[in-house]
Amino acid sequence: MFYLHSTRISLCRTAHRPILSCGACTACKLWCKIVLRHHTPSLKKDVRMEHHSVQANPPEPMRIADTFALKPGLMGFAALWIFVFHVWQPMLGGVPVLGRLESIIKYVGFAGVDIFFFLSGGGLVFSMQKGSVWCFYKRRLERILIPFLIMAVCYALYQHWSVGLFFARISGVYFYTKSMYGFLWYVPAILTLYLFFPAYYALFSRSKHRSLFLFVVLTVWLALSILLKNTLREDFYGFTNRIPIFLIGVYCGQKMKDGDDILPRWFPLAAGIMLLIGVFLAYLTNVMKMELLFPVSNAAFPNILLTLGIVFLVPWFAKRVIRRELSPIQKFFGFFGSISLAFYCTQELLYYIYRDVVGLHHPALDNLALILLITAASLLLSKVSDWLLQLFKRISPAKKTDS
């Protein structure tokens, strides 16, 4: 018998008739009518009729999968945060508190890249199951290189790159030998992690104690970051400091794949604490220019904590607090998540063109014009990239058939 809820019947002291203290469902009401029709004055007080016993379902625990279920929205949020860092013109400088808050949000906007790294790491765990390692590399290169190369041509034409500089930047040579900030540094950085991921994952997935494995790897990263402080090129720390959040994303993806991704009930509180500490460290490293252990530390400890706080608090907040009201917000951020790579690739170049041609005069109007211009260009770049990819896929089987 399934018990959904219990109906209590007690005797009325004046009429000696049963009184219903629960009649929640139609079945209960029907059952109680039968009892009322055949009741006797000898019906004992406080008779409990166990029928349908309804017990409130406990709230579902938070899971890592809740974070990746909101991946498009989180990617869109990250893309817009990077836009604020690169392009946004401050509008509240004259307002004491809000102006300060706006400047901090802009200073820390590069943390959106860390959200990309985290989500990419988790997604790669499932990509490894879809065929051979070669197929893994092929899918990654197809998705990233087409918009990257299109924008490289646009940059080269506008900034008058030489042929040598063009190939140095698209090949990654400039990234590794000169400066990581030469041209869309996220692309060579994430492709480097893609390159080493299959080897790392082969070891990680076979480990019996994956938490310990990750801890050892992060300890080695921390030790090398400190030891190479006077050897490694300073700007290159901007890339190596993103390795931990990528590996944490891989760990979370594996937990999700294994079905062992239920989070403790106290985890939202821990995520909130991480977010607050991340904000504090971001203020120290970005505004106060404090260095923590090694160069570019503002892209290490603060961003790790900020990212983990955001990616776990947002799903909890959406699931527990907003729910239905979240739908328009999800669609808004999800739209930018669907064009996040193109949005990242186009924003700086279009900002330079707008600044040089139109000029920056009115922050509010400039911000509106830039977001509309960059969004339109991103949609165009995404469509062209998809069209070229489909074209290459149609040509490739034809070549195989001819041969």
- Tokens representing 167? 């190939």
Per-residue pLDDT at 401: 47
pLDDT digits (tens, 9 = 90+) for 96-131: 888 888 888 888 888 999 999 999 999 998 887 766
What DSSP state is assigned to residue 1? -
pLDDT digits (tens, 9 = 90+) for 41-89: 444 444 444 444 444 455 677 889 989 988 999 999 999 999 999 999 9
- What's the CA dihedral at 354, 357, 361, 366 to 10 degrees? -20
The rounded distance, in Å, linking the Cα atoms of 46 and 41 is 13
Domain ranges of the chain: 5-51, 64-389
Q: Are 140 and 375 in contact (CB under 8 A)?
A: no
The rounded distance, in Å, linking the Cα atoms of 207 and 192 is 23
What DSSP state is assigned to residue 361? -
Per-residue pLDDT at 6: 40
Better-scored residue on pLDDT, 102 or 12: 102
The rounded distance, in Å, linking the Cα atoms of 312 and 74 is 11
Extended beta strands in 240-347, E state: none
Statement: the pTM of the whole predicted model exceeds 0.85? no
Binned at pLDDT 50, 70 and 90, residue 95 comes out as confident
- Beta-carbon contacts of 237 under 8 Å, excluding residues fewer than 6 positions away, are 225, 294, 295, 296, 297, 299, 300
3-class secondary structure per residue, 369-395: HHHHHHHHHHHHHHHHHHHHHHHHHHH
pLDDT digits (tens, 9 = 90+) for 373-398: 999 999 999 999 999 988 888 886 65
Binned at pLDDT 50, 70 and 90, residue 165 comes out as very high
pLDDT digits (tens, 9 = 90+) for 268-317: 899 999 999 999 998 888 878 888 888 888 888 999 999 999 999 988 88
- Going from the C-alpha of 42 to that of each of 35, 38, 152, 270, 277, the distances in angstroms are 13, 11, 91, 58, 67
Q: Are 201 and 125 in contact (CB under 8 A)?
A: yes
